[in-house]
Amino acid sequence: MRGATAPWGRPSAPPARTGEPICGVNPHNPERTFSRRPFNNPSHIWTCQGTRSYFTLFLNVSVALVTGAASGIGQAIALAFIRESCRRIILIDLNSEGLQETKQLALEISSEVKVLICPCDISDEAAVNKVMETGMAKFGRLDYAVNCAGFPGGFAKTAEYVIEDFDRVQQVNVRGTWLCMKAQIQQMTKQTPLKPHKY
């Protein structure tokens, strides 16, 4: 078994391409040991003292939702969910073509993943609620939500900034994010929490 000491319990060397797990010791707390399976193992998971992390423990039976999933950070997070064994995911963005691209990339990672793409203007309350209804009709629950959708607005000095851009930034980045969180929390609070299996 390989061993290495590194900050945050991460291996200091690149993962081996073998079936051996890689272990690390947290230098700030030597009693806490961490290990991760190599990248070529589809179930590679960070563990603490031999127990799967709480985050990855449920992913294969959970439902995730990502806004802004057509590109950039949102797309990267959506694909990271799939790599970490999430098999049901809701993708939201205004860019339909970008959502299709993300879905295709997700299917290349795992052919088992079920992807629901929902073009949506998150500043529209009715549209957000409709997306949630559609998602719950398909998957029945929501366990993880990452709200990455945003509008950058124009780039100008304050005295020259266009009011329409300012209003759109507030509508999407503030109102839209709040609308999504509101709908997501309402769903999460009325469903039965998942219970971990013993490994």
Q: Is residue 197 part of a domain?
A: no
Whether 12 maps to a domain, the answer reads yes
Query: Looking at the structure, do residues 52 and 64 belong to the same domain, yes or no?
Result: no
- Flag whether 195 is in a domain: no
154 shares a domain with 78: yes
Structure confidence at residue 40 (pLDDT) = 43
Q: Is residue 74 part of a domain?
A: yes
Among 18, 36, 56, residue at a domain's last position: 56
Q: Do 9 and 65 belong to one domain? A: no
Bridge partner list, 76: none
Q: Is the pLDDT of residue 138 over 90?
A: yes
Give the count of domains, the chain: 2
> Do 44 and 13 share a structural domain?
yes
Q: Please check whether residue 89 lies inside any domain of the structure.
A: yes
Banded model confidence at residue 167, pLDDT cuts 50, 70, 90 = very high
Using only C-alpha atoms, the chain has a radius of gyration, in whole angstroms, of 20
CATH number for the domain harbouring residue 82: 3.40.50.720
Residues 125 and 89 in one domain: yes
| Nearest residue to 93 via CA among 123, 114, 63 | 123
186: pLDDT confidence band, cut at 50, 70 and 90? Answer: very high
Residue 65 · residue 146 · CB < 8 Å = yes
Same domain, yes or no, for 99 and 169? yes
Judge if 152 and 105 occupy the same domain: yes
User: What CA–CA distance (Å, rounded) separates 7 from 171?
Assistant: 40
| Residue 154 shares a structural domain with residue 95 | yes
DSSP 193: P
Among the candidates 11, 38, 56, a domain finishes at 56
Mean pLDDT of 127-139: 97
Question: Which residue type occupies 19?
Answer: G
194 assigned to some structural domain: no
> What is the spatial distance between Cα 8 and Cα 61, in angstroms, rounded to a whole number?
27
- Within this chain, do residues 182 and 99 fall inside the same structural domain, yes or no? yes
The pTM assigned to this predicted structure is 0.71
pLDDT digits (tens, 9 = 90+) for 27-49: 444 444 444 444 444 443 333 33
Domain that holds residue 128: 59-189
Torsion of CA 51, 83, 150, 156, to 10 degrees: 110
| Mean pLDDT along residues 172-187 | 97
Mean pLDDT of 156-172: 92
For residues 21 and 115, state if they share a domain: no
- Is residue 58's pLDDT more than 80? no
For position 8, what pLDDT does the model report? 43
Residue 42 and residue 80 in one domain = no
